[in-house]
Amino acid sequence: PKTDIVFLKVHKSASSTVMNILFRFGETHNLTFAFPIGGGYQLSYPRHFLARFVQGFSPSSPQQFNILCHHMRFLQPEVHKVVSSSAFYFSILRNPVKLMESSFAYYKGASAFSRVRSLEEFLSQPYHYYNPTEGDRHYARNLMTFDFGFNPDGEVSAKRVQLMLKAIEASFDLLLISEYFDESMVLLKEMLCWDLDSVVSFPLNIRDSSTKSPLSDAVVEKIKDWNRLDWEIYTHFNRTFWERIDRDIGRERMQQEVKALRDRQGEMARTCLQGMGSVAPKHIKDSSLKPLQHGSARILGYNLKQGLDKETERICRRLVTPELQYSSALYKKQFPQKSP
């Protein structure tokens, strides 16, 4: 199994669920994580990543870490300083239409969104609200482009798009698609030589449907236009994703693998969870399992079954522990003398 991994955690793209998978694998195999200094949750985001943002890194005696997965704005030469040269690089993308709808609910406090009542209102005259010089502008435009290290306000020329796609392809071994999450996990498992249980997960950091609103066709087109760079990235890598499945696995075997993964997830849900699924924040009984609530979104969580034996409880708890709590626990383990 591959143990040196860089995951570019793109915002609002099921990346918290992927992070839980990496946390569990790292903890099980005693791997080291490139934590933000002081045990924070972002590597000085939204600045471009620098090696010195990592706890325990020093230029004089550069230490390499197994897993780099906290939020960062990608800058490969700096990433190279903290991980092995043979590290496996991957990220996950999401349809920019859904991404923007989610971003609007989650980052309602961002400068571009704070004065509008709806996404429609923002898109009717975006430059009335959006200021390219604001430090938090990226939440409102081409968020994936920004996380990959590029300029979200760059012009959309064929040449520029090609250069951007080539740069991403040169840096990353695999780009997953969050709309095909289970297929993505099968592909990831294959490429990392991991077993099935390592990629089993429950969806984390998801919001309840009360804040989700259907978008008209006109709004969908406006979102694509406004996030044209993201749209180009997404459509390109959605295509290569399926090309890779056809080449390396085949559709038939992929179906079998996805079924096996879903069956195993169903089994774990029956073993671990009260009521089989996620619940609203106010119904989460164990406060240590409550996810951070943000913006106007209501982030769901889980209740574990009572009376599980010790080992089962440990496995189940890790599956449902929200990102911030899990990150803190692993940080304390790796740096016992420091408290986050």
Going along the chain from its start, the domains and CATH numbers come out as: 5-334 (3.40.50)
Q: In the chain, how long is the greatest CA-to-CA distance?
A: 60
Residue with tokens 């959605």: 238
Indicate if the pLDDT at residue 4 is higher than 60. Answer: yes
What mean pLDDT comes out for the span 194-223? Answer: 92
Contact, 151 vs 145, CB < 8 A? yes
Backbone φ, ψ for residue 293 (5° rounding): -95, 140
Indicate if the pLDDT at residue 238 is higher than 80. Answer: yes
What one-character DSSP code corresponds to residue 13? Answer: S
Judge if the upstream peptide bond of residue 46 is cis by omega within 30 degrees of 0: yes
What mean pLDDT comes out for the span 22-43? Answer: 97
Please tell me whether residue 239 adopts helix, strand or coil conformation: helix
Interval 275-298: pLDDT, tens: 879 999 999 999 999 999 987 788
What mean pLDDT comes out for the span 160-182? Answer: 98
Contact, 301 vs 323, CB < 8 A? no
Question: What number of other Cβ atoms are within 10 A of residue 50's Cβ?
Answer: 17
Closest CA to 112 of 101, 127, 100: 127
Indicate if the pLDDT at residue 41 is higher than 70. Answer: yes
| Identity of the amino acid at 291 | P
Indicate if the pLDDT at residue 235 is higher than 90. Answer: yes
Indicate if the pLDDT at residue 339 is higher than 70. Answer: no
| % of the chain with per-residue pLDDT over 70 | 99
Helix spans in 115-227 (H): 119-124, 126-129, 143-147, 158-171, 181-192, 217-226
Please tell me whether residue 82 adopts helix, strand or coil conformation: coil
Indicate if the pLDDT at residue 61 is higher than 90. Answer: no
Question: Whole-angstrom Cα distance, residue 98 to residue 179?
Answer: 10
Residue with tokens 């943002």: 53
> What pLDDT score was predicted for residue 142?
98
What is the torsional sign of CA 307, 310, 311, 313?
positive
Question: Whole-angstrom Cα distance, residue 182 to residue 254?
Answer: 10
Interval 259-275: pLDDT, tens: 999 999 999 999 999 98
Question: What number of other Cβ atoms are within 10 A of residue 68's Cβ?
Answer: 25
Backbone φ, ψ for residue 92 (5° rounding): -135, 140
| % of the chain with per-residue pLDDT over 90 | 92
**Range list of β-strands (E), the chain:** 5-8, 67-68, 88-93, 174-177
- pLDDT band of 110, cuts 50, 70, 90: very high
Partners of 177 in the beta sheet? 93
What one-character DSSP code corresponds to residue 197? Answer: G
> What pLDDT score was predicted for residue 69?
98
Question: Whole-angstrom Cα distance, residue 35 to residue 31?
Answer: 12
189-228 burial: b if 16+ Cβ within 10 Å, else e = bbebebeeebbbbbebbbbeeebeeebeeebeebbbebbb
Partners of 7 in the beta sheet? 90
Q: Residue 311 belongs to what H/E stretch?
A: helix 310-320
- Strands 174-177 and 88-93 come out as parallel
Contact, 245 vs 278, CB < 8 A? no
What mean pLDDT comes out for the span 98-105? Answer: 95
- pLDDT band of 340, cuts 50, 70, 90: low
Indicate if the pLDDT at residue 25 is higher than 70. Answer: yes
Question: Whole-angstrom Cα distance, residue 164 to residue 3?
Answer: 28
Interval 298-309: pLDDT, tens: 899 999 999 999
Question: Whole-angstrom Cα distance, residue 220 to residue 232?
Answer: 15
> What pLDDT score was predicted for residue 286?
95
> What pLDDT score was predicted for residue 182?
98
